[in-house]
Structure 1
Amino acid sequence: MMPEVMPCLVPKLASAAEYFFKMGVEGKRFRPTVLLHMASALNMPIPWSATDNLFGSLSGDLRTRQQRIAEITEMIHVASLLHDDVLDDADTRRGIGSLNIVMGNKLSVLAGDFLLSRACIALSSLGNTEVVSLMATAVEHLVNGETMQMTTSAEKRCSMEYYLQKTFYKTASLISNSCKCVAILAGQTAEVSMLAYNYGQNLGLAYQLIDDVLDFTGTSSSLGKGSLSDIRHGIVTAPILFAIEEYPQLRKIVDRGLKEPADIDIALDYLEKSQGIKKTKELAAVHADHAIKAIDAFPESDNENVHISRRALVDLTHRVLTRTK
């Protein structure tokens, strides 16, 4: 799915904003797939008490509005990638040259800003203040998460609680709030909307935990980026945090900032003999299980299409755990 990006008076800026969509770098379209299945999974009779809050009136096609959330989510996600690549001075993104390398940092930042502005325009067209607030919160969380990663103290850097909070902000908040928006647009109750949120939250956390594993176990060709990318940038993720619990002496190496190749090699040696990778996978499985339980808690339905989408959402949690790239 390629979101509809409105015409821009500066063609080069529009071309930059559409770069990753045209190149197919986000070919998996993970978030839109989740959201469109979530829309179908919640295709149930609307409680009478909720109809008054259904975007003011029932005008407009519900499915179109929910699809717009998927498009907005993808625009926000890609905008964050463009900005992250500038901050990280990245060379590639999923196997192709990153936009900042192809067109320069300034245009890459402006392209991200352009996508965010178009996402805001699309959001306003939905006419639902709660949905606007939720998506704005997700954008705020993206910024907070990146700031937490850049400015963390040595103590917080080795805290699993801090890591999970940062991971929620950077990865899980966008999909969890988007899932909730889909439920709200469908006029579902606060309880059902929260279940949708919980699904997205736990799916997002599981996804990132497996991503952290793949940074150590994947290859450059499968990941589309240099393996060990995080640790080479001094970023401490779950596998290393679990290794520190097992080998406290590793903490001294991590506190030095992992700026020297020798320190990285030592850290990797500790990780290899630890249960860090195994425990990270186990934690991802716990979150995947929480996501499945959220789907199982949805109200019963006799609609076969609803059941198909719910099974697809459950299947996506398994795919997250078993993916290799």
Structure 2
Amino acid sequence: MIISFDKITQPINQELKQLNINLKKMVAAEHPILYAAAEQLFSAGGKRIRPIMILLIAKITNDQQNISPEHKRLAEITEIIHTASLVHDDIIDDCETRRGTVTVHNMFNNKIAVLAGDFLFAQSSWYLANLNNLHVVKVISKVITDFAEGEVQQGIKSFDKTISIESYLEKSFYKTASLIACSCKASTILNNCNPNIQNDFYRYGKHLGLAFQIIDDILDIISLSKDLGKPAGADLKNGNLTAPLIFAIEEKPELNQLINQEFQNKEDINKAIKIIKKTKAIQKAKDLAEEHIQLALNIINTRYTNYNIISLIKISYYILNRIK
């Protein structure tokens, strides 16, 4: 099923246009370098998956299908938090490009990039506090601690060939799925939904987020750098052992030697990618992603009938179908 991204966003097109305008205003900084760093991030674009989900869920869980100013601000806050996490990720992983453009720490330096990331986290926290909803503040604030937990787990497990799929999924939750899950839940909180509905959309976001990360990790193996917008094989280079490699080790134990050598040169990475592609690992990883997509869809399909559910279903398949 080919899913057009424009069709997914059709119910919230106007809100998304305004979101892109507002993001640049929200990260305005007095220091020109800090402002340039922040502007570089948002000029690079991105699909705005998290804001889209917040806005769609706002419509689904509201009898009038309205999107309140608070929901619009929450959508902006989550995109700022996500972007801040990417800045810090790029420093840790020493990525040269992100979304096809030079990363902040390469355009400026590590110190400026760290400060830019911190600045974005601080700005998001300030806007979050101004929502005047303590429950939402608690839910979204937890995400920032989860990011740190995910990075620590990833660092500890670097080049650890004994990592299990369970540990990989736990780390993926902290690094990716937590923000999506908590954003979905926060959207329902702003509509004063009951705890059951809040929990439903939290679980929907969690499974969707895990699928998103698994697909991302597959793309790191099978895509070209120009399509990824960042160097291919970056996960291998940084010792971040993901689902495709974990599954491939089961079939091709010779990968252990390359991991032990920590992929010392580019040829090692290319060799590992070729080996992985010869196994069933890519399909197994895709099956795992599809399993989480189905879990997400089962939650909303069985309980909600609003027409905007169609867009959430489409976004689920869009995430899965990023693999051509």
TM-score between both structures, scaled by the size of structure 1: 0.86
Q: 1:97 to 1:253 in 2, by over 3 A?
A: closer
Which whole-Å CA distance do the structure 1 matches of 2:38 and 2:203 have between them?
Answer: 31
Alignment CA distance shift 1:103-1:43 (3 Å): same
Change over 3 Å in CA distance of 1:137–1:160 after alignment to 2: same
Cα deviation, residue 271, structure 1: 1.2
**Is 1:196 matched with 2:217?**
no
- Counterpart of 1:39 in structure 2 is 58
State whether residues 159 and 241 of structure 2, in contact with CA within 8 Å, keep that contact through their aligned partners in structure 1. no
Three-state SS of the structure 2 residue aligned to 1:18 is: helix
Matching residue's letter, 1:240: L
- Cross-structure match for 1:137: 142
Matched, 1:250 2:255: yes
Q: Which moved more, 1:123-132 or 1:166-175?
A: 123-132
The one-letter amino acid of 1:10's match is H
Q: In the alignment, what sits opposite 1:322?
A: 321
Counterpart of 1:322, as a letter, is N
Residue in structure 2 matching 1:10, options 6, 9, 31: 31
What SS class does the counterpart of residue 168 from structure 1 fall into? Answer: helix
The one of 45, 49, 63 aligned to 1:26: 45
The counterpart of 2:231, out of the listed 226, 229, 250, is: 226
Query: Quick one: structure 1 residues 261 and 218, their matched pair in 2 at CA, closer, same or farther if it must change by over 3 Å?
Result: closer
CA distance in structure 1 between the partners assigned to 2:169 and 2:228 by the alignment: 22
- Structure 2 unaligned spans of 5+: 1-18
For 1:245, what is the secondary structure of its paired residue?
helix
What's the CA shift for 1:19? 1.8
RMSD: 2.2
Counterpart amino acid of 1:19? Q
- CA distance in structure 2 between the aligned counterparts of 1:224 and 1:155, rounded to whole angstroms: 27
1:195/1:297 contact within 8 Å kept: no
Kindly provide the CA deviation profile for residues 277-325 of structure 1, in whole angstroms up to 9, marking residues without a partner as x.
000111111111111112113345xxxxx31x21000000110111159
- Match for residue 54 of structure 1? none
- Do the aligned residues in 1 keep the contact of 2:161 with 2:256 (CA within 8 Å)? no
8 Å CA contact 2:55, 2:67 repeated in 1: no
Identity of aligned residues (%): 38
Equivalence for 2:295: 290
Match of 1:183 among 182, 188, 192: 188
Superposed, which structure 2 residues align to 1:106-117 within 5 Å? 106-117=111-122
Q: Deviations over 1:237-259 (max 9, x none)?
A: 10011112233453344344333
Question: 1:61-80 counterparts in 2 under 5 A?
Answer: 63-80=68-85
Task: Give the counterpart letter for 1:239 in structure 2.
Answer: P
Match of 1:49 in 2: none
Name the residue aligned to 1:58: none
8 A Cα contact 1:72 1:123, kept in partner:
yes
TM-score calculated relative to the size of structure 2:
0.87
Of 83-92 and 111-120, deviating more is 83-92
How much does 1:122 deviate? 0.8
| Unmatched runs of 5 consecutive residues or more in structure 1 | 47-60, 301-305
Which amino acid is 2:51 matched to? Answer: P
Report the CA distance between 1:263 and its aligned residue. Answer: 4.3
CA distance in 1, matches of 2:298, 2:139: 23
Aligned residue in 2 for 1:272: 277
Larger Rg: 1
Are the counterparts in 2 of residues 156 and 162 from structure 1 also a CA contact under 8 Å? no
Q: Which amino acid in structure 1 is aligned with residue 178 of structure 2?
A: S
Q: Report what 1:259 is aligned to.
A: 264
User: 3-state DSSP class of the match of 2:132?
Assistant: coil
What is the alpha-carbon distance in structure 1 between the residues aligned to residue 138 and residue 161 of structure 2? 29
Shift of 1:9: 2.9
